[in-house]
Structure 1
Amino acid sequence: METFTINDFFNEQNEITNINEEAYHHIEDIRETIDSCTRTSDECFYIIDYHKKNFLHVSDNPTYFGGLSAEKIKEMGYKFYLHFVPEEEIKTLIDINHVSLSYFNQLPNNEKPHYFISYNIHIKNRNHKILVNHRLTPLKLYNGKIWLALCSISPATNKVVGKVYLHRQKSLDTIYYSLQNKSWEKFSFARLNDIEKRIFLYSIQGLSIKETAEKVCRSEIAVKKTRSKLLEMLNANNFQEAIHLALLYKLL
């Protein structure tokens, strides 16, 4: 098995230099804002500092951090990945990191703050491992590169590992990279109509297909056909994943 170090996560795509300590005096409000978000969300949030190559802040909600405290995760920084991502997936994580930031750096600087990167990876938790969805978006840019990145972790809604998505906020277009095919591809979502949005919303509320059909004044067969269409449109494996994608990409 190949041995990796923290430095394997960095290259010219994400190494940041020449930031003085005074720049860090202005980010306390960011920490407080993230902690406020944590209180109203079941996601885990943390901030990557590409200049110091560590974690600048970790929210006190370490559900998906291997059972460790926020203080311990912050202390470990990038060592967390080396210890808690399964050995067979560390190379995948490093490749995702490099290829996604390489593409991100080619975007116009004024567009970069509107994008986020999303992918699945396993995290070890005691004697088992869980598949999580990891998302990253820039908090602070420096010379066009990400200096500080806000990251969030939540349960994955599909079993795919090795595919990374790059999506622009409020856009119906997304691009994804498959490590297996080693190429970027574009994928476009269709705009949802009112019935499709309502079917999603009633499903989120836990209504059955029969109850949903009554709410939207359609037959159960029609609702099932619409759900199948939505699965295909979102390239989702199940309706839970479709709901996740519709929420993630702000389609509702």
Structure 2
Amino acid sequence: MITEQDFFFSENEVKTVNEDLYNRLELLIRSTEAMARSLYQSVYLIDYYKKGFLFVSDNPSFLCGRTAKEVQEMGYSFYMSNVPEEDQKMLVEINSNGFKFYEDKITSEDKYRCYITYDFHLINQSGKKVLVNHKLTPVQMTPDGRIWIALCVVSLSSKKKAGNVEFHIQGIPRYWSYSFESHRWKPQEKVELKPEEKQVLTLSSQGYTMNEIADKMCRSVDSVKFYRRNLFERLEVKNITEALSYSAIYKLL
């Protein structure tokens, strides 16, 4: 059985943090709270020194029927109560191998530009499993480069199953995907969109119809359909909603 302590190990251990530093976190918490008010996603802060949650927004997609205060007080026990057991094991493996990769492979210059993304199920208040996407990025680090405070953003996933683990560094043309079969990280090249594909995506996100997009691009409807079809194939998605979600995750626009 997975316990809270299974999420902590040598790679994410923070041995000491001066209490004066905690007194300086008020601005970070207030800024995170303000950001959460403008997002549809749930946002929370993990404290790896105290091994709990520093802040939890009141956006409902992460709370599973609880209040933000209740989830913050629960900390990692929230996962024990609201994540299926098979996904708990997956999260422990992601946590372990993600931090090992971060510590062993990422230079100190790149550590603040990293984020990891993956999908897992939450059990909501009605007992149904909901697949969510979870992104984690460091916001406060110790002098030796350990993550002290991490920002997490939770939203509904566009995928069909749990997993889909990827490690990104902002500004570089590749990322790494994690294989649960080999338990290894594999380098991948990011997709580069053509100008027409970006325009189709941008106009679609603004709610324009196919005919309206064709008019704005000064192209035929068949040309727009061609751009969309190629876009779907390159991104390996089935519709424009999935394409927009993919583009947001990979920052293609």
Tell me the alpha carbon deviations over residues 133-178 of structure 1, each in whole angstroms, 9 at most, x when there is no partner. 0000001112222111000101101113123111111333221112
Contact 2:131 2:161 in 1 (8 A): no
Alignment-mate amino acid for residue 121 of structure 2: H
Whole-angstrom CA distance in 1 between matches of 2:53 and 2:187: 32
**Two-structure CA RMSD over aligned residues (Å):** 1.6
Whole-angstrom CA distance in 1 between matches of 2:236 and 2:102: 23
Whole-angstrom CA distance in 2 between matches of 1:236 and 1:141: 36
Q: Percent identity?
A: 37
Give the corresponding residue for 1:114.
Answer: 113
Q: Which moved more, 1:62-71 or 1:89-98?
A: 62-71
**Structure 1 residue 41 and structure 2 residue 39: aligned?**
yes
Whole-angstrom CA distance in 2 between matches of 1:145 and 1:53: 14
Unaligned 5+ runs, structure 1: none
Give the corresponding residue for 2:190.
Answer: 189
Contact 1:16 1:50 in 2 (8 A): yes
Q: How much has 1:183 moved relative to structure 2? A: 2.5
Aligned length: 250
Unaligned 5+ runs, structure 2: none
**Counterpart of 1:184 in 2: which secondary structure?**
strand
Give the corresponding residue for 2:134.
Answer: 134
Give the corresponding residue for 1:124.
Answer: 123
Give the corresponding residue for 2:203.
Answer: 202
Give the corresponding residue for 2:71.
Answer: 73
Alignment-mate amino acid for residue 131 of structure 2: L
- The structure-2 alpha-carbon separation of the partners of 1:235 and 1:146, relative to structure 1 and needing over 3 Å to count, comes to farther
**Counterpart of 1:177 in 2: which secondary structure?**
strand
Q: Which moved more, 1:29-38 or 1:182-191?
A: 182-191
* TM-score, structure 1 as length reference: 0.93
Q: Which moved more, 1:103-112 or 1:216-225?
A: 216-225
How do 1:139-218 residues align onto structure 2 when only pairs under 5 Å count?
A: 139-142=139-142, 143-218=144-219
Give the corresponding residue for 1:230.
Answer: 231
* TM-score, structure 2 as length reference: 0.93
